[in-house]
Structure 1
Amino acid sequence: MICLFWVLGGYLAGSLPTAYLVAKRFRGVDIRTFGSGNVGATNVGRLMGKKWAVFVSLVDMFKGGIPVILAHLFADNQTTVAMVAVASVLGHNYPVWLDFKGGKGVATTYGTLFFVSPWASFFAVPASGVVWYLSLKISGYVSLASIMSLFSMSLLLPALGAPEAFGWSAFLLAFLSSWRHRSNLVRIYHGKEDKVGR
């Protein structure tokens, strides 16, 4: 029951629809009807500019990270912390407030995994950010860079000594992100996905 409490709390925190609320409040636009229709920072950037995209990304990171921190402090169980991390991202991707139609979970995954296993995750997550940047520069595709960075994180965490539970949760979240980006991957395969700067 205690584990369930933390997992539910992680899900509800993650389900805060940051992109939807920001676009609705400051532009009067339902972000689901604009651009890609995705409820995430990239689509907010298309509508409102880079600064708002950064703001949404940071909030999405912290809404995933805070439940993980609290679970570390009060649940004190690696499996529970790993489950809270996954639940937070599931909340972002499938928010109860938006009929379970949310974002793709990249920023929230970064936020949750940054705090799962100090000090290993304090290195692994920024290193994965470098993978994201380099992959974006080489490929030009945000979706592909995001997937590659998350899979690199799932390898880096156990390599740096993070407990097994956190390595598996990172792999699960990388796979989930790949699933959420499946339409992007299909467009990349067919040469129809827009590159950054186009």
Structure 2
Amino acid sequence: MTSLSILIFCSAYLLGSISSAVLICRLFALPDPRNAGSNNPGATNVLRIGGRLPAALVFIFDVLKGTLPVYVGYFLGMSPITLGLVGLAACLGHIFPLYFNFKGGKGVATAIGAMLPLGWELCSILLTCWLVVIFITGYSSLAAIISVSLAPIITWFVKPAYTIPVTMLCILIIVRHRQNIIRLLQGQESKVWDKGRTKE
């Protein structure tokens, strides 16, 4: 592993550690998302406590946290596995942010952003799947789990060389949603439009 690769990994983690949910909630004078709603600093919780505009800004920034470092690695000619590790570093930064007491979000938007350099086809399909599942069920967590589960299969048809790196990202996101999976099975998971103090 080269010093350049290590630099990109560290940069990806540090960029991922910027909690856009916390910062945007401060900007809009909203409650801290770590202590309100579902207590999850992510776009879905910001939607609950602050509405569409703050949530959209959080989602866009979280996507960029994954996209930018992977794009840099892509243009530097890094191998697929190395790019996968860059994406993982960005997601780990989002999930365990250095600047915010290591209390972060689920990493879904950042993972999607990390896949974006692989092509619009993959991300368009994943986003469409995510939106359809939310529209039908109302469960953001279920939409995320289904979307990332399909990602390796879709990648195999779009860019097969990146199937393993995408699978690495997807496993991380699914593991991060383990409590959501339990609540879904028990019928206790909250929906996107649920207000107040809920689980996510």
> Same fold by TM-score, threshold 0.5 exceeded?
yes
Q: Secondary structure at the match of 2:18?
A: coil
What is aligned with 1:41? 43
Cα distance in 2, alignment partners of residues 60 and 31 from structure 1: 15
- The CA RMSD measured in Å over matched residues stands at 1.6
Aligned position for 2:75:
73
- Secondary structure at the counterpart of residue 33 of structure 1: coil
| Structure 1 segments (4+ residues) deviating >4 Å | none
Q: Secondary structure at the match of 1:7?
A: helix
Unaligned runs of 5+ in 1: none
When normalised by structure 1's length, the TM-score is 0.89
Tell me the equivalent position of 2:122.
Answer: 124
Distance in 2, matches of 1:196 and 1:48, equals 13
Query: What is aligned with 2:158?
Result: 160
CA distance 1:30–1:161, change in 2 (3 Å): closer
* 1:123-170, Cα deviation, whole Å (9 max, x unpaired): 11111112212222333311011111111112111222331xx32222
Deviations 1:19-78 (A, max 9, x none): 011112321532211011101111111111011111110011012101111111225333
Measure the CA separation in 2 of the matches of 1:170 and 1:78: 9
Q: Distance in 1 between matches of 2:30 and 2:53?
A: 18
1:193 and 2:189 aligned: yes
* Residue aligning to 2:198: none
For residues 29 and 133 of structure 1, the distance between their equivalents in structure 2, rounded to whole angstroms, comes to 26
Report which stretch shifted further, 105-114 or 180-189.
180-189
Q: Return the TM-score normalized by structure 2.
A: 0.89
Query: Structure 2: which 5+ residue stretches go unaligned?
Result: 195-200
More deviation, 131-140/28-37: 131-140
| SS at structure 2 position matched to 1:6 | helix
Displacement of 1:101 in angstroms is 1.3
